[in-house]
Amino acid sequence: MTCRIWIKANAIGNKDTNQQTQQFPASNTPPLINDQDDPNSNQDNVNQHDGTPQDGSQQNSGFPQDVMNMDMLMDMSSNLMSDRAINFSIKDPVFGVTLEERPLLNVLLSNDEYRKIYENYLEQLAKNYLTEEFFQNITNGLSSMLTTYVEADPTKFSTTEQFLEGVKGENSLPEFAKQRSASILK
């Protein structure tokens, strides 16, 4: 509910609060949730699911909706072993937009000193953490804890066999880590 509406709702029979309503004109009141009866409500700034205030940077994990490339995002999340996911550019690490549309990242990666630091961090990550062995240990541990629950879950989204394919094999998370690491290091 907007500040203006809250004040009006709580102002019934209270002359002092009515005067406060006049001190907060509609043009200075930020929209906080959808209010169908409020002609000054800006419904584009409101989360349609829970009514929380939004701005462009809060939607879609920090990416404004008009620049999200949902096809690419869905491909990278649903098909882990796709070439697009494995070989995602480290030189131009954005999708659905250009590097110029991300000014801070663009400035940082345009600076030779900062780019070298970034590349060193990626190399350390690729060699020490984004390895098949590191991920195999994690997925084995999680698999041993979760497999019985996956087997017993009547509402699961995939079969137990599909779950286990993500743990070991050519379409598993450890295999992705191995191939992604090689891609970063080339």
pLDDT tens string 147-165: 999 999 999 988 999 999 9
| % of the chain at pLDDT higher than 70 | 58
Same domain, 76 and 24: no
110 closest CA partner among 89, 124, 91: 91
Q: Which domain holds residue 94?
A: 68-185
Same domain, 24 and 74: no
Give the range among 9-18, 46-55, 73-82, 85-94 with minimum mean pLDDT: 9-18
Q: Is the pTM of this model over 0.85?
A: no
- In angstroms, the CA 169 to CA 163 distance is 11
CA 97 to chain centre: 15
Same domain, 108 and 175: yes
pLDDT digits (tens, 9 = 90+) for 15-44: 444 444 444 444 444 444 444 444 554 555
60 falls within a domain: no
86 falls within a domain: yes
Same domain, 155 and 104: yes
Same domain, 39 and 74: no
Same domain, 28 and 92: no
Same domain, 98 and 135: yes
Domain count, the chain: 2
183 closest CA partner among 118, 132, 124, 126: 126
Same domain, 134 and 166: yes
Q: CB neighbours of 118 closer than 8 A, spacing ≥ 6?
A: 108, 109
Same domain, 111 and 33: no
